């Protein structure tokens, strides 16, 4: 199959070239897939896209005009794909449902530890010859209440990490999981989770129902001085309201690996540019905010799994086998 890969970086190229045995002809593009770049798919059987590619109705119609038959997402999320438009154009959509839940869960725990113990600040101080411990005081995670929103594979692994620290873990999910209950975790309502949690970590997909799940109302119910972590999807949080919660100190710590308007920022080197996004500029100015640019998935093991599953999805489509990872409407 001839496949156009969009939004590719050096690590994507390395991992896919490593695992592609020569069955597929891959053309790598650094540009985002949208209505302007869709023309690059001419002559291709499939496209491979990532989290910030624009697979809206108009883009999908263009792909169909260029005779593209498959959209292969090399990630778990597919909220940026218009599934109805894809079905109308008879374009199949596949994804990588689970590449390394450990990678994302571990990154969430890293955000917690860094925000709490301020190791990033200590690192910079020592490099400048400043060995003072002033304003570096953290808190014990032991016996703190951690609220986990979403108890799928990533959420479950994150729970195990937090239980390892001796935390009291509570959870919210529309579909409670017996395996999570077996870990000694209690399912509670969303309101109870907000009110009781010292740390809240989001591990749920972005849907119409979860868009701005954490907004003005949720912040008003949150325990004063709480920590909020998001390694899932940026739009789970109303970021403007998060800024207000930081200003009034309802939110004492804020760690995000995803951002509602990340598309024009993340995965790019903008160090010589003026950041035109006032909201993220405001967030960066807070000393108790930690932002990483969607790197939770970025481990060698996860990249290998993403490549293996994506290439497997392409091969299954080409050989007309059952598409185990197809996304249905």
Q: Which residues of 127-141 are buried (b: 16+ CB within 10 A; e: fewer)?
A: eeeeeeeeeeeeeeb
Whole-angstrom Cα distance, residue 258 to residue 179? 27
Integer Cα distance of 31 and 41 in angstroms: 12
Structure tokens at 102: 């450990």
Residue showing tokens 């970590």: 201
Nearest to 161 by CA among 117, 202, 107: 107
Catalytic residue IDs:
233, 262, 294
131, 141, 289, 307 from 237: Cα distances, Å: 36, 24, 14, 30
Instruction: Report the C-alpha gap between 178 and 206 in whole angstroms.
Output: 23
DSSP 50-80: -TT--B-HHHHHHHHHTT--EEEESSS--TT
The residue written with tokens 């109805």 in the block is 84
Residue 191 CA to residue 181 CA, distance in Å, equals 19
Q: Domain 101-291 has what CATH class?
A: alpha beta
In this prediction the pTM is 0.91
Each residue's pLDDT tens digit, 279-315: 999 999 999 999 999 999 999 999 999 999 999 999 9
The pLDDT of residue 244 is: 97
Three-state DSSP at 92 gives strand
Q: CATH 3.40.50.720 region(s) of the chain?
A: 2-99+300-318, 101-291
* Consecutive 10-residue averages of pLDDT for the chain (329 residues): 96 95 91 96 96 94 97 92 96 92 96 98 97 97 98 96 98 96 97 98 94 98 97 96 96 97 91 94 97 96 96 95 92
Query: What would the two tokens of residue 208 be?
Result: 């119409």
Q: Write down the pLDDT at residue 21.
A: 84
β-partners of residue 70 are 46, 92
- Helix, strand, coil % over all residues of the chain, rounded to 5: 40, 15, 45
Helix orientation angle between 300-318 and 101-117, rounded to the nearest 10 degrees: 150
Judged by DSSP in three states, 100 sits in coil
* CATH pick for 2-99+300-318 out of 3.30.1360.20, 3.40.50.720, 3.10.450.50, 3.40.50.300: 3.40.50.720
- pLDDT value at residue 306: 96
Q: Could you write out the three-class secondary structure of 186-255?
A: EECCHHHHHHHCCEEEECCCCCCCCCCCECHHHHHHCCCCEEEEECCCHHHECHHHHHHHHHCCCEEEEE
Q: Is the dihedral of CA 132, 134, 139, 140 positive or negative?
A: positive
């Amino acid at each position: 199959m001839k496949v156009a890969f969009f939004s590719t970086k050096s690590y994507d190229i390395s991992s896919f070239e490593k695992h592609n045995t020569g069955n597929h002809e891959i053309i790598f593009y650094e540009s985002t897939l949208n209505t302007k770049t869709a023309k690059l798919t001419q002559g291709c059987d499939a496209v491979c896209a990532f989290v910030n590619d624009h697979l809206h109705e108009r883009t999908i119609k263009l792909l169909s005009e260029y005779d593209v038959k498959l959209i292969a997402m090399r990630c778990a999320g597919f909220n940026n794909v218009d599934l109805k438009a894809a079905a109308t154009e008879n374009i199949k959509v596949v994804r990588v449902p689970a590449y390394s839940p450990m990678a994302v869960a571990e990154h969430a725990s890293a955000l917690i530890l860094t925000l709490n113990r301020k190791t990033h600040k200590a690192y910079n101080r020592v490099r400048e010859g400043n060995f003072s411990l002033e304003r570096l005081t953290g808190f014990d995670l032991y016996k703190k209440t951690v609220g986990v929103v979403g108890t799928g594979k990533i959420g479950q692994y994150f729970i195990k990490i937090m239980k390892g620290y001796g935390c009291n873990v509570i959870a919210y999910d529309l579909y409670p999981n017996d395996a999570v209950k077996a870990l000694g975790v209690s399912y509670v309502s969303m309101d109870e989770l907000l009110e009781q949690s010292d740390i809240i970590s989001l591990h749920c997909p972005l849907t119409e129902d979860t868009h701005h799940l954490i907004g003005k109302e949720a912040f008003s119910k949150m325990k004063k001085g709480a920590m909020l972590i998001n390694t899932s999807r940026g739009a789970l949080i109303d970021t403007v309201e998060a800024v207000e919660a930081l200003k009034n100190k309802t939110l004492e710590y804020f760690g995000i690996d995803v951002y509602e308007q990340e598309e024009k920022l993340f995965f790019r080197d903008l160090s010589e540019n003026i950041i035109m996004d006032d909201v993220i500029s405001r967030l960066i100015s807070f000393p108790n905010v930690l932002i990483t640019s969607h790197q939770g998935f970025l481990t060698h093991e996860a990249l290998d799994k993403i490549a293996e599953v994506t290439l497997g999805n392409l091969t299954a489509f080409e050989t007309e086998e059952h598409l185990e990872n197809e996304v249905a409407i």
